[in-house]
Structure 1
């Protein structure tokens, strides 16, 4: 009897030994497959975190007094391909949506592919696109697509994404931006299309893109192409006083000690008597006795001046820091990635360019109002601001300068690299390069150089892309196709 028991026990142990150790680590109550909702959450957080001090430095909104920062002094060199990591997650979301039969996520796949590839091509120029993200298919050295082909594909993909959403499309799970409302995503898709089209403004006569036709088709058909209707539609990330969900610069020591306001930005706001200044900045120590609503209480440093010069000015108490809420409040304000105010400024520019009919001034004023409402400025103050001659859109002057300047103000500590890209496209506002601290022969860079790793791992393709785009080689002053009339 005992012998029989030993034999049965040995057989059971032997059977267990045939299993891999990893099989015992699987929790039968938890799924092992990726789900699109979990992937969407992470993708949104990565793509829509649009609050960036590097942008504030490069866009002459802030300065750094602790070190010679290359973004402030226009001496940067190579960019990063880290955005491809986010795109890999988007591909996984696409696969998960197909595997779990949840087609409502597929329009968002197209949106986030467009969003991320747009960031990459605006940064570098030509990039891997049609063969990108295909390592599992054996493509480890993808070809570089031309920027113009990428832009055309992005526009077509966004149009396709819009068409995939109708009144019967199911809502989403895991959506921290719009709470699962797929119809809100339809608005975001079309607003992004307008951003892409306006970025192509110097190509408006290129028949291949039909820029004016596409722009008018979206604006004139709100049933088929709904757009944002107010700040409540903003594509933005909200922050909460929870671990991993706090404002990016909450409790940031460097923001409290090293970052100050740029005087060109301060002076712009002062010249317009713009009350957003009181929400952006703190009073300069030298003027602490003045009221917080007194424009004379604020000063800035010179973003193009040598670091030592700005350090001396800050020690004398002349320079304002950023408003303390940016480092004291764990929730502070949402990070707007794509907002109603920007959309209204795009529409105003569209009217000025003759792409659509309507009142440029009405769109323009709606954009300003939306921005000021975002910062909780009261209606009486907003109305008084809009009534100023310096703010009003003057068709006899340069309305584009007014529009882009207001878009620039509205972008403070949100919108990612948009204020820099818009200045690169239009020349507004003027970024100061007169100081002795500016590198790059006092020129504002036009792009970033390709990552060094790409020169090692995909040398043939990246070298070919550089040769056809930039005759002088891979440098930060090269003019990409997007910027050539």
Structure 2
């Protein structure tokens, strides 16, 4: 009898403990926090992350005036308190996998709420994967694929070869096109959570164009791999261009995949708030400036200010191309600062970039770049067509971005003198004829190797402060335009070819990290080593 009493007491105790635990769990739950997040809200978070607008020196800092655009040699920091111009790439970032984990969760939430296997969240999620994997592998080489987004189920993911990553990216983009085609043909042209789509307001036809246009970028980046029969780079590029109904691409800048700054939500980096603290701490880079001034290109009057001491000593006009001088990115920051405050260098155009809280949109994938990619493919003999027309269209659309059109010749530039307040600017009239610019021998498309260099140079100019890493990627792939080297960039004055892997990988994923280095022929995590893409 006593035995059964003990059993009864134990059973009652267990029930009481379970009840207490349940009560504790209920008390710990925050009624003001949702137990789950909808696919719609996750979409908004993922797409905002894609803007790359943070600036902490990580791989993803490719928004307007972010760290990447110093490495693209568009502008320089001349004041060490705010940073320098060194290519300190010994430890990269795998933060992109955090975004990709949110993509996985977004897809799960959509499925949980009854979405079909082919749905807008799944399709856009696949594009996001392709976008991030392309950027990460282009920066580092071999990287983990989906094994890295399994959370605690896989804390030590293996690395995939760079070729396999590119194959995955290309196949994924095809899947995105096919799935979006299925949805659009079924009359499902928009995303339910269209308010969270900060790029296309839920328009799936735009996303479909983006997938194919982005694929052209990926294929152009593989120009050194055209002999690889498994990749079929040339054939894949031609398939897109020759089948526009199956593979629609951008038809104007209205299709651009661009991030628009909003004053009350995401203020433009160079806003009036920052004018007093850092407006004189940025000067223009020689690589960008001289490629404009050598061509008598009026875009320099919009994006740059003249070097005022040059004007004073030489007697040049403020809208004379000789008045604009960029600093070599390889110059020491001490010399650069001295030259900047002495008025021997061009600062960024402070009136243009600090005047509003919204500034210019940041184009992540754009029509202008696509025009030059197609022109390059024609020049290389991948496809038939008129390279000059695509080349001229790319230039013309870039000029329009800065308010320069074929229909006018009279313009006004606005410059601040060193030490001036934001409102203390002076206007300068200048003339510029776009047709004359296109006809000059240095710009008119020459075909062959000279024509290819022209295409690459104009693409570099057009990607100023946009298109993420593409300016650097194109330089690394082609050598055009020539980037400045020197002590100011670190790395013994040599521009590196890749980022090193995150230092945490050496401790948390050492075996796979070492295998990735070995598989690429690296004896160490060498930022000067040539990845498969460059061989």
Does TM, scored on the shorter chain, surpass 0.5?
Answer: yes
Runs of 4+ in 1 over 6 A off after TM superposition: 14-17, 68-71
The equivalent position to 2:288 in structure 1, one of 260, 265, 276, is: 265
2:404 matched to 1:353? no
How far off its partner does 1:141 sit? 0.4
2:81 matched to 1:46? no
Do the aligned residues in 1 keep the contact of 2:331 with 2:488 (CA within 8 Å)?
Answer: yes
Taking a change above 3 Å as real, the CA distance of residues 260 and 107 of structure 1, as seen in their structure-2 partners, is same
2:327 matched to 1:306? no
- Residue 95 (structure 1) aligns with: 108
Unaligned runs of 5+ in 1: 1-13
How far off its partner does 1:430 sit? 0.4
2:95 matched to 1:82? yes
- Residue 30 (structure 2) aligns with: 25
Taking a change above 3 Å as real, the CA distance of residues 436 and 154 of structure 1, as seen in their structure-2 partners, is closer
Specify the SS of the correspondent of 2:279: helix
Do the aligned residues in 1 keep the contact of 2:379 with 2:448 (CA within 8 Å)?
Answer: no
2:237 matched to 1:215? yes
Q: Structure 1 CA distance, aligned partners of 2:173 and 2:503?
A: 31
Specify the SS of the correspondent of 2:383: coil
- Residue 247 (structure 1) aligns with: 268
Q: Structure 2 CA distance, aligned partners of 1:432 and 1:68?
A: 23
Q: Structure 2 CA distance, aligned partners of 1:111 and 1:475?
A: 30
Taking a change above 3 Å as real, the CA distance of residues 236 and 438 of structure 1, as seen in their structure-2 partners, is closer
1:364-379 mapped onto 2 (5 Å cutoff): 364-379=391-406
Do the aligned residues in 2 keep the contact of 1:282 with 1:298 (CA within 8 Å)?
Answer: yes
Specify the SS of the correspondent of 1:63: strand
Specify the SS of the correspondent of 1:356: coil
Q: Structure 1 CA distance, aligned partners of 2:34 and 2:334?
A: 57
Cα deviation per residue 1:338-362 (whole Å; 9 max; x = unaligned)? 0000011110011011111101111
2:298 matched to 1:279? no
Q: Structure 2 CA distance, aligned partners of 1:397 and 1:152?
A: 29
Q: Structure 1 CA distance, aligned partners of 2:22 and 2:167?
A: 57
How far off its partner does 1:306 sit? 1.7
How far off its partner does 1:369 sit? 1.1
CA-based RMSD of the aligned residues comes to 2.3
Taking a change above 3 Å as real, the CA distance of residues 454 and 35 of structure 1, as seen in their structure-2 partners, is same
- TM-score, scaled to structure 2: 0.82
- Residue 259 (structure 2) aligns with: 237
1:120-199 mapped onto 2 (5 Å cutoff): 120-136=136-152, 138-166=153-181, 167=184, 168-172=187-191, 173=194, 174-199=196-221
Q: Structure 2 CA distance, aligned partners of 1:457 and 1:202?
A: 34
Q: Structure 1 CA distance, aligned partners of 2:215 and 2:448?
A: 29
2:516 matched to 1:465? yes
Q: Structure 2 CA distance, aligned partners of 1:344 and 1:169?
A: 29
Which range moved further: 272-281 or 180-189? 272-281
Q: Structure 1 CA distance, aligned partners of 2:509 and 2:74?
A: 37
Taking a change above 3 Å as real, the CA distance of residues 423 and 16 of structure 1, as seen in their structure-2 partners, is closer
How far off its partner does 1:116 sit? 0.7
- Residue 346 (structure 2) aligns with: 320
Do the aligned residues in 1 keep the contact of 2:213 with 2:249 (CA within 8 Å)?
Answer: yes
1:445-456 mapped onto 2 (5 Å cutoff): 445-456=496-507
Between the two proteins, the alignment pairs up a number of residues equal to 466
How far off its partner does 1:89 sit? 1.3
2:131 matched to 1:115? yes
